[in-house]
Amino acid sequence: MRDIDDALSDIAGIRAQLASSTRFHGFAPAAIAGSGAFAFLAAMAQTLWPERLSNDPARYVAVWVSVAVASAALILVEGLARVGRMHGAMASTMVVGTARQMAPFGVAGAGITLILYDSAPGSMWILPGLWQILIALIGFTSLANLPRAIAWPAGWYFVCGLAVLKLACGGAPLSPWMMGLPFSLGQAAVALILHRDTERRHARF
């Protein structure tokens, strides 16, 4: 029994190593583009109806948390439907490995948002820039499993995050486009990169 357990453990380790170096194909370009469209529409709505959607920091944050949840749900649902077709027997291993890479940043963003929302609402101006920096870090840490060109939108998010933080520190009011512009353009770039990667892969087979 011990030999069997050791063999199973070795197989699991090999699968994990293969997953860590295998291109993840679970992200659908259409879903990524859709999340960018959510951001653009949210920014437009906040611009048109600021008295309802962005008149105070708490309301502003609530809108963008809703956008984040809707975007994550769209990407997750499409990804789960896609990953089985793309990775076959390794699908569950790929999903777990990708989740381990990304989950810490998502949990950190959610935790910081909840703490500021509950205990320091006057400091919520920091959140748009911080969210974008966390998205950038997700992109950079996923380069082993995604097209290398993802480094460009990750860099975009990082620079935009720093710029938004600088503007907010300088006293600029929270604007819908502090999130809407970086996120919609960044997600569009990611979707384009994934789409081109899919086309290149199909052309080889």
CA–CA separation, 11 and 32 (whole Å): 33
pLDDT of residue 24: 67
pLDDT of residue 91: 59
pLDDT digits (tens, 9 = 90+) for 21-42: 456 677 889 999 999 999 999 9
Structure tokens at 132: 């974008």
Please provide residue 25's backbone torsions phi and psi, each rounded to the nearest 5 degrees: -110, 20
pTM of the model: 0.85
CA–CA separation, 170 and 8 (whole Å): 57
Please provide residue 149's backbone torsions phi and psi, each rounded to the nearest 5 degrees: -65, -15
Exposed / middle / buried, residue 53 (Cβ in 10 Å: 0-12, 13-18, 19+): middle
Do residues 120 and 170 touch, judged by C-beta distance below 8 A? no
pLDDT tens by residue, the chain, 205 residues: 555 544 444 444 444 444 444 566 778 899 999 999 999 999 999 999 988 878 788 899 999 999 999 999 999 888 777 776 665 556 567 677 777 888 899 999 999 999 999 998 888 999 999 999 999 999 999 888 889 999 999 999 999 999 999 999 988 888 999 999 999 999 999 999 999 988 877 666 5
Q: Mind giving me the DSSP string for 13-59?
A: HHHHHHHHTSPP----HHHHHHHHHHHHHHHHHHHH-HHHHSSSHHH
pLDDT of residue 16: 47
pLDDT of residue 175: 92
pLDDT digits (tens, 9 = 90+) for 127-144: 999 999 999 999 999 888
